[in-house]
A and B are shown apart, each in its own frame.
Chain A
Amino acid sequence: MDIMEKLTILTNSAKYDVACTSSGVDRGGAPGSMGSTVGCGICHSFASDGRCISLLKVLMTNYCIYDCQYCVNRCSNDTKRVAFTPEELAELTMAFYRRNYIEGLFLSSGILKSPDYTSERLLKTLLLIRNKYHFRGYIHVKAIPGTDPALLTKLGMLADRMSVNIELPSQKSLRQLAPNKSKNDIFAPMKLLTSSIRQNSYDLAHYKSAPAFAPSGQSTQMIVGASPESDFQILSLAQGLYQKYRLKRVFYSAYMPVSDNPLLPARGTKPPLLREHRLYQADWLLRFYGFKAEELLDEEHPNMNPLMDPKCNWALNHLELFPQEVNTAPYEMLLRIPGVGVKSAKRIMTARRNGSLSFEDLKKIGVVLKRAQYFITCSGKLACGLKITQDGVMRALIGDKLPAENKPEQLSLFAPSAMLLKGEIRQCLGVRT
């Protein structure tokens, strides 16, 4: 079959996997080879959905023996099935890489015959790319649950990053929607990767010639909105994965309805994009801002506020800690001020060594004053003309983000009030009283 058609089908079945990063490993080029990797990663294009295209993201094949209900490639789905040969895929990857279209390959696969058989085909492709074509660029490969550990180790020696997708954030949902997979199937390879990566970092430190095992670490993905788990459950699980399994990234994927199974949202349901966005914001707070999942959400408030980002939400619930004096606050506290990011917090630390900072200076540093002004003082002074109450700040912060039905319209005698009531705002904010 023609490569164009294979590429189309196997891209179409891989596109719901969200991970496309090429970051985490700095490896320069070398004579006699092609390619290099850059620590911060490089985006080569942006698709019509606004997501970064960094790697050639395709499946080896979309044949699959499993019947996971949320997946386009489930065996009960009536769709055309094709497979790349390792040679075809290696050649395509190199041709794209040479033209600077991509940073490398993201290779996943449906399960053909058995997990081991599938992994062997992945391995064959990677061996071709690394050894025949001397490719030094980025490779992300999936660890297929149920694969022999020896095979996974071989894959890890050739890849920069490996990942096992959790897909559904609880065992119950997994049992209902992915009958061929169990929690153990997923966590077993994840554990193996964690211990191999840890062992390898020890070897690398002790032996000069130790080969690198997945130097860019492992990641995973969870589908959001296909099953009933709360944001709190999802975020707690992510936090556990970062701590226990040392994952580099957890990706969240808003579920796109692809099936008529009554347990899943119906076709035509909009994907919960805002929820996904809030989860990413919270994920960043866990990884770079020193927050804990329990600080952002709890059993009583298990879901994120749609009107406000999780950091603003947290700050408004802890007004007793604010305002913070920008010129003296410790770094950890600067990070918790809405409108101050990791970069601006560091720049504040540098700049205040040379004199005290004013609101004007903060603007130059890159602080988003629109949000930060409610939570800071500069040399003891608040921003001009601000009076800070919880409701007032909340109204100001959500301002133009009110839901569409609350936009001003022609007054009607019988329509419900278009204004948000104080109680409603407090409710949506999850204000703890």
Chain B
Amino acid sequence: MPWRTDVVYLYDGTLQGLLTCVFESFSCKELPMHIYTQEECELSLFTAKWVDTDEEKARRVWESIPKKISTRARQLVLQSFYTCLPDKERHILDFLRLGYAAGPSVTERITDERVFVLQKAVKHLLNEAHLLKGFLRFSIHGNVMVGVIEPKNYALSLIAEHFCNRYPEESFLIYDKTHKQALVYQSYQAVILQLDSFEIPKEGEEELRYQRLWQRFYDTVGVEGRYNPKCRMTHMPKRYWGNMVEMAPRENHSDAYADKPAFTSLTA
């Protein structure tokens, strides 16, 4: 009997919820047109079916992946879940269907559209997370370090370990403005919380002093004779600039983005 396709699944947006949808799809022999979270749900011609998150079903699917496919495939599913790929839930379901049929070689089928689309999205995610490890800026307020990011993907969970490992003795908060989530780290413990709004407190005198020193370093280290804003833009896209101290407008400077080095060569 052919699988029913004129149905749309709704779930709670969690990984466990999605895994329950995968379970549901196989047990009811349904291939949903889409799998949506409640917010994404639009009026649709198809029957919308709410799938209740079930820990046991989710666990069974989760454990079946390394057994029937591979651990590499499970990692790809997990990372894909953190991406901003439109309709990622349906792509993950397609990938798993292929994986259960093809076995461990599925992650090597990099030219198959179902694998390619996930790997491409994950590459974008990993790249964004890598850049953020460099571009994130902390400001220090009392003893707490605060940083804000605006990633396209759910990159926060990917950069958490890096920062916790790097600053083990500090207390810090990283706020993801796009997805309204915050990573809070204190005394060797880290949690990610939902946080609807967050404002960076006003900087104290010492913080401002170091920000000015860093801006001066940035303005000085570029070599005038090699001025190349296009190259800079390629490596450091403009969408990151808003949260970076050195790209902020200078106080007593007319040019907003430190285009020209502030300090002319000492040798002239």
Q: Among the listed B212, B230, B244, which residue makes an inter-chain contact with A50, where contact means beta carbons less than 8 Å apart? A: B230
Interface string of B226-238 (1 = CB under 8 A from A): 1111111011100
Q: A29-B168, A98-B167, A99-B210 are in contact. Are A13 and B226 (CB under 8 A)?
A: no
A328 contacts partner chain B, Cβ-Cβ < 8 Å: no
Instruction: Provide the residues of chain B in CB contact with A201, threshold 8 Å.
Output: none
Contact in complex: B258, A45 (CB < 8 Å): no
Interface string of A42-56 (1 = CB under 8 A from B): 111111111111101
Question: How far apart are the CA atoms of A11 and B217 in the complex, in Å?
Answer: 7
In the complex the two chains form, is A4's CB within 8 Å of B213's CB?
Answer: yes
Residues of B contacting A101 in the complex (Cβ-Cβ under 8 angstroms): 137, 214, 245-246
Interface string of A171-212 (1 = CB under 8 A from B): 000000000000000000000000000000000000000000
Given A29-B166, A95-B210: A48 in contact with B266 (beta carbons within 8 A): no
Chain A proximity of B268: nearest CB distance (Å): 9
A16 at the interface (CB under 8 A from B): yes
With A29-B165, A29-B167, A347-B110 given, is the CB distance from A12 to B235 under 8 Å?
A: no
CB pair B267–A42 under 8 Å, yes or no, is no
CB distance from A265 to the nearest CB of B (A): 12
Q: Does A350 count as interface, using CB distance less than 8 angstroms?
A: yes
Assess the B236–A45 pair: CB atoms within 8 A. Answer: yes
| Beta-carbon contact of A365 and B111 below 8 Å | yes
| CA gap between A365 and B244 in the complex, in Å | 34
Beyond A4-B212, A351-B109, whether A270 also contacts B225 by CB under 8 A is yes
Interface size class of B (residues with CB under 8 A): 35 or more
A36 to B222, CA, bound (A): 26
Complex interface: stretch among B50-58, B78-86, B139-147, B193-201: B139-147
- Contact A45:B111 (CB < 8 A) given known A80-B266, A100-B137: no
B106 CB to closest chain A CB (Å) equals: 9
Residues of chain A within 8 A (CB-CB) of B137 are 99-101
| B116 on the A face (CB < 8 A) | yes
What separation, in Å, do the CA atoms of A79 and B218 have in the docked complex?
A: 21
Q: Does any Cβ of A come within 8 Å of B33's Cβ?
A: no
**B236-A357 in contact (CB<8A):** no
> When the two chains form their complex, are residues A100 and B136 in contact, meaning their CB atoms are under 8 A apart?
yes
Q: How far apart are B92's CB and chain A's nearest CB, in angstroms?
A: 19
Please determine whether B111 and A50 come into contact, CB atoms closer than 8 angstroms.
no
Q: Could you tell me if B222 and A45 are in contact, using CB atoms closer than 8 angstroms?
A: no
Within 8 A of B (CB), among A274-295: none
B101-152 residues at the A interface, CB under 8 angstroms: 105, 108-111, 116, 130, 133-140, 145, 147
Most buried by B among A56, A270, A350: A350
Q: Report yes or no: B108 in contact with A351, Cβ–Cβ below 8 A.
A: yes
Give the chain A neighbours of B167 by CB distance below 8 A. Answer: 29, 34, 98
Contacting residues, chain A, for B259 (C-beta < 8 A): 48
**B169 close to A31 (CB less than 8 A):** yes
Take A101-B214, A270-B225 as given contacts and tell me if A45 and B244 are in contact as well, using a CB distance cutoff of 8 Å.
Answer: yes
> What is the minimal beta-carbon distance from A102 to any residue of chain B, in angstroms?
9
- Check if A53 sits within 8 Å of B220, measured CB to CB: no
**B210 contacts which of A15, A16, A96, A347 (Cβ < 8 Å)?**
A96
Residues of chain B having any CB pair with chain A under 8 Å: 105, 108-111, 116, 130, 133-140, 145, 147, 162, 165-170, 188, 210, 212-214, 216-232, 234-236, 244-246, 258-261, 263, 265-267
A contacts, CB < 8 Å to B: 3-4, 7-9, 11-13, 15-16, 28-36, 38, 40, 42-54, 56-57, 72, 77, 79-80, 92, 95-96, 98-101, 103, 254, 256, 258, 270-271, 273, 347, 350-351, 353-355, 357, 361, 364-365
